[in-house]
Amino acid sequence: MPEKKVNILAIESSCDETSAAICRDGEILSNIIAGQKVHEQYGGVVPELASRAHMQNIIPVVHKACRDAGIALPEIDAIAFTQSPGLIGSLLVGAQFAKSLSLSLQKPLIAVHHMQAHVLANLISEPRPSFPFLCLTVSGGHTQIVVCESPLKMKVIGETIDDAAGEAFDKAAKLMGLPYPGGPLVDKYAQTGNPERFLFPEPQISDLNFSFSGVKTAFLYFLRNAGKSTVYKPEQTASEEEQEAFIRDNLPDICASIQHRIISILINKLKKAAVLTGIREVCIAGGVSANSGLRQAIRETGEKNHWNTYIPEFQYCTDNAGMIAITGYYKYLNKEFSDLSVISSARSEW
Residues at the contact surface with other proteins, assessed by CB under 8 A: 15, 42-48, 85-89, 140-141, 159-164, 166-167, 171, 175, 213, 216-217, 220-221, 231-233, 345-349
Q: Closest distance between other proteins and the C-beta of residue 241, in Å?
A: 20
Query: Which residue number, 164 or 282, has a Cβ lying nearer to other proteins?
Result: 164
Q: Closest distance between other proteins and the C-beta of residue 64, in Å?
A: 28
Q: Closest distance between other proteins and the C-beta of residue 242, in Å?
A: 19
> For residues 89 and 71, what is the distance between their CA atoms, to the nearest angstrom?
29
CA distances, 111 to each of 82, 87, 98, 106, 202 (Å): 6, 16, 10, 16, 38
Query: Which residue number, 131 or 180, has a Cβ lying nearer to other proteins?
Result: 180
Q: Closest distance between other proteins and the C-beta of residue 15, in Å?
A: 8
89, with CB counted inside 10 A (0-12, 13-18, 19+), is middle
Query: Which residue number, 6 or 342, has a Cβ lying nearer to other proteins?
Result: 342
Query: Which residue number, 89 or 302, has a Cβ lying nearer to other proteins?
Result: 89
Q: Closest distance between other proteins and the C-beta of residue 42, in Å?
A: 6
Q: Closest distance between other proteins and the C-beta of residue 94, in Å?
A: 16
Query: Which residue number, 91 or 326, has a Cβ lying nearer to other proteins?
Result: 91
Q: Closest distance between other proteins and the C-beta of residue 43, in Å?
A: 7
- Residues 168 and 220: beta-carbon distance below 8 Å: no
Give the strand pairing for 7-12 and 78-84. Answer: parallel
- Residues 144 and 156: beta-carbon distance below 8 Å: yes
Ranges assigned E (strand) in the chain: 7-12, 18-24, 27-34, 78-84, 109-113, 133-138, 143-150, 153-159, 281-285, 308-310
Q: Closest distance between other proteins and the C-beta of residue 215, in Å?
A: 10
DSSP codes joined into one string, 255-308: HHHHHHHHHHHHHHHHHHHHHHH---EEEEESGGGG-HHHHHHHHHHHHHHT-E
Strand ranges across the sheet with 78-84? 27-34, 18-24, 7-12, 78-84, 109-113
Query: If DSSP codes are grouped into helix, strand and coil, which group holds residue 84?
Result: strand
213, with CB counted inside 10 A (0-12, 13-18, 19+), is middle
Q: Closest distance between other proteins and the C-beta of residue 162, in Å?
A: 5
Query: Which residue number, 162 or 244, has a Cβ lying nearer to other proteins?
Result: 162
Query: Which residue number, 14 or 30, has a Cβ lying nearer to other proteins?
Result: 14
CA distances, 108 to each of 79, 100, 212, 325 (Å): 6, 11, 41, 14
Query: Which residue number, 216 or 269, has a Cβ lying nearer to other proteins?
Result: 216
> For residues 15 and 214, what is the distance between their CA atoms, to the nearest angstrom?
26
Query: Which residue number, 7 or 13, has a Cβ lying nearer to other proteins?
Result: 13
State whether the Cα torsion 104-110-111-115 is positive or negative.
Answer: negative
